[in-house]
A and B are shown apart, each in its own frame.
Chain A
Amino acid sequence: MVLSRGYEERLAAAYMEGKTPLFNMANGPLPGEMHLSNGQEPCAVGVCAHLRAEDTVTATHRPHHVAIAKGVDLRAMTAEIFGKQAGLSGGRGGHMHIFDPRVNFACSGIIAQGMGPAAGAALARKLRGEPGVAVAFIGEGAANQGAFHEVMNIAALWKLPFLCIIEDNGYGVSVMKKDSTAVARNDVRAAAYGVPGVYVPGNDPYAIYAAAGEAIERARAGDGPTLIEIETWRLAGHFMGDVEGYRPAGEKDALFARDPIPAMRQRMIAEKTATADDVAALEAEAKATLDAVFDYARSAAEPRPEEALEKVFV
Chain B
Amino acid sequence: MVEPARRDNRRKRKLTIAKAISEAIAQEMERDSGVFVMGEDIAKLGGVFGNTQGLLDKFGPERVRDTPISETGFISMAVGAAALGLRPLVELMFVDFFGVCMDAIYNLAAKQAYFSGGHVKCPMVLMTSVGGGYSDAGQHSQCLYGTFAHLPGMKVVVPSNAYDAKGLMAAAIRDDNPVIFMMHKNLQGMGWLGTVAGATVDVPEDAYEVPLGKAAITRPGKDITVVGLGATVHQALDAAETLAKDGIEAEVIDLRSLAPLDREAVLKSVRKTGRLLVVDDDYKSFGVSGEIIATVAEAGIALKSPPQRLAYPDIPIPFARPMEQFALPNAGKVATLIRQMCQE
A positions within 8 Å CB-CB of B: 23-26, 31-33, 83-84, 87, 90-97, 108-112, 141-142, 144-147, 172-175, 179-181, 241, 245-246, 302-309, 312
Contacts and interface: CB of A to CB of B under 8 A. Distances in A.
Interface in B293-335: 313-316, 318-327
Given A92-B320, A147-B100, A175-B40, A26 B69 contact: no
Q: Which of B99, B133, B323 counts the most A-chain CB atoms under 10 A from its CB?
A: B323
Given A83-B135, A145-B100, A175 B194 contact: no
B69 A24 contact: no
A305 B319 contact: no
Contacts of A108: 139
Contacts of B336: none
Instruction: Give the dominant DSSP class at B's interface.
Output: loop
Given A25-B136, A83-B320, A305-B325, 6 more contacts: A94-B137, A110-B96, A110-B99, A144-B69, A180-B67, A308-B324
A68 to B, nearest CB: 19
Given A91-B323, A303-B322, A312-B315, A175 B100 contact: no
Nearest to B48: A173
B68 A141 contact: yes
Interface in B69-125: 69-73, 96-97, 99-100
Nearest to A93: B319
Contacts of A26: 133-135, 193-194
Going nearest first, the 10 A-B pairs with the smallest beta carbon separation are A94-B319, A91-B320, A83-B320, A305-B326, A26-B134, A31-B135, A308-B323, A144-B68, A32-B135, A174-B45
B66 A180 contact: yes
A40 B46 CA distance: 27
B320 A175 contact: no
Nearest to B65: A179
Given A26-B133, A307-B323, A92 B318 contact: yes
B281 to A, nearest CB: 14
Given A94-B135, A111-B69, A146 B44 contact: no
Interface residues of B, number: 43
Interface string B158-201: 00000000000000000000000000000000011110000000
Interface of B: 40-41, 44-45, 48, 66-73, 96-97, 99-100, 133-140, 191-194, 313-316, 318-327
Contacts of B137: 32, 92-94, 96-97, 109
Contact of A33 (B68, B136, B194, B325): B136
A82 to B, nearest CB: 9
A303 B320 contact: yes
A312 B139 contact: no
A312 B68 contact: no
A96 B139 contact: yes
B194 A24 contact: yes
Contacts of B72: 146
A182 to B, nearest CB: 9
Nearest to A243: B191
Contact of A141 (B69, B97, B99, B325): B69
Contacts of B325: 305
